Amino acid sequence: MKYPNETKGSEVEEPETEERTCPSCGMAEPEWTANQGRGFARDEQSYCCQGCAEGTGCTCKEDQDE
């Protein structure tokens, strides 16, 4: 017997997440540093910073002493 691929009891198909996250590192939009928090737009996506947009690594936390 095959089981249908559907979820019971809850509607998971429409996430109500209006808060965006960086598709690269997953950082929540309020924490983005590019463009004064608006994010860095690239390829119709918005990233937290230019580093994530270009795939060179997130630089949002770079300010920390390390």
CA distance 50 to 15: 27
CB of 16 vs Zn ion, minimal distance in Å: 22
Determine, following the binding rule CB under 5 A, whether residue 46 of this chain makes contact with Zn ion: no
Around Cβ 27, how many Cβ atoms within 10 Å?
A: 21
Number of residues that bind Zn ion (CB under 5 A): 9
Number of Cβ within 10 Å of residue 25's Cβ equals: 16
Angle at 28 between CA 44 and CA 53, to 5 degrees: 40
Q: How far is the CB of 26 from Zn ion (least distance, A)?
A: 7
Window 15-34: residues binding Zn ion (CB under 5 A)? 22, 24-25, 27
Which residues of this protein are in contact with Zn ion, per CB under 5 A?
A: 22, 24-25, 27, 48-49, 52, 58, 60
